[in-house]
Every structure is written in C-alpha cells, then in structure tokens.
Amino acid sequence: DNLFERQTTRTLAVYVQDHMRLADGWFATLGIRLDDHDRFGTKATFRIASTYQIRNSGTRIKATYGSGFKAPSLYQLYSLYGDEALDPETSSGWDAGIEQSFWSERLILGATYFSNEFEQMIDFDSVNWKYVNIGTAKTSGLELSAIAHVGSAWTLSAGYTFTDAKDKASGENLLRRAKHKANVSA
C-alpha cells in the first residue's frame, strides 16, 4: 500500500539556445528556458556562457552566468516527510575559469571559481524530519581538473572540488553537502 494518495503534477518546458562566434577565438552561448508548472506558475530562466581561446598558447578563458528554478518534488510535497506549503527554489550563479593545454592537448589542466545564491532553497530539516525552505543560501568554491590522453586508447582524468555551502540567515553550514570532493577515472 502507498503511504500517501496518488498525486500528479504537470510541467511544460521550452528551451532555446544559440551558439555564436563573436570574433576569432571568442564564442558565446545564450540559452533561455520557460517552465510552466501547473501549481507554481510560469518561470523564465537563462544561461549565458562565453569562452575565449588564445590559440598559440593553448589557453582558454571561460565564464558563465545563469538563473534557475526548481519546483518541489511530489515526495517533498506529499510524503510523510513532505510539506504542501513548500515554495519553489530559485537561484542565480556564476563561474569563471581557465584551462591550459600542453603537448598538443595531451594534457589539459583547469581551475574554476564558482558562486551560487539560492532563495527558498529546499532542504531536509533533520530535527523535525520535514522538508523545509531555507530563506537564502550560498555555495561557492573552487574546482580543479586534469585530463591526460595517454596513447591512442586511454584518457585519464582527475578532479577536485572545494565547496563552502552556508545558510545565509544562520551562518550555519548546509547539511549533506561535501566540503571536499575528488574523482579519478580512466
């Protein structure tokens, strides 16, 4: 048996994107998304990204800025732990970084700084065992990456991310968000 009655929702989304060459080595991408949610209404979000490649040096400078919208899931609204009064989460964020390639792109190293602001962030309150909206939250940090093409058949990659995630009202760290993450793949 189900713990809660069957619930449904409808979301209709349209996304449009354009990739433009602004000058030699300079590119930009602009994307706009329109979400129409049957409970939370219509919301437009966007993302703009730009990259500049210095061809002779193997250097690529990149940056993005965008916004986001996330409606609560049916589980977050109607489960034993849910709250039907939850509001949708909205966000805006940016990042800026650099990639440097070596030896005809056989090795690529990268570093990116990021920052995101959230309004009405949906999180789990482990004291009351309910999903809640956090008024404002912020995440920021640094991502480091390395990709090595070894021979003709192997690619090795590694990444590290440091994230500082805080509830802006209380100053407390957000729960269940790793401060340090690393990965390696072959």
What three-state secondary structure class fits 139?
strand
Confidence (pTM): 0.87
Look at residues 40, 36, 93, 42 and name the one whose alpha carbon lies nearest to residue 71. Answer: 40
Residue 77 CB neighbour total at 10 angstroms: 19
Strand partners, 95: 64, 114
pLDDT of residue 88: 96
pLDDT of residue 126: 85
pLDDT of residue 4: 61
pLDDT of residue 151: 85
pLDDT of residue 47: 98
Amino acid at 90: T
Residue 121 CB neighbour total at 10 angstroms: 24
**Helices and strands (H and E) in the chain: how many:** 1, 9
Q: Which residues of the chain have pLDDT under 50?
A: 1
pLDDT of residue 6: 82
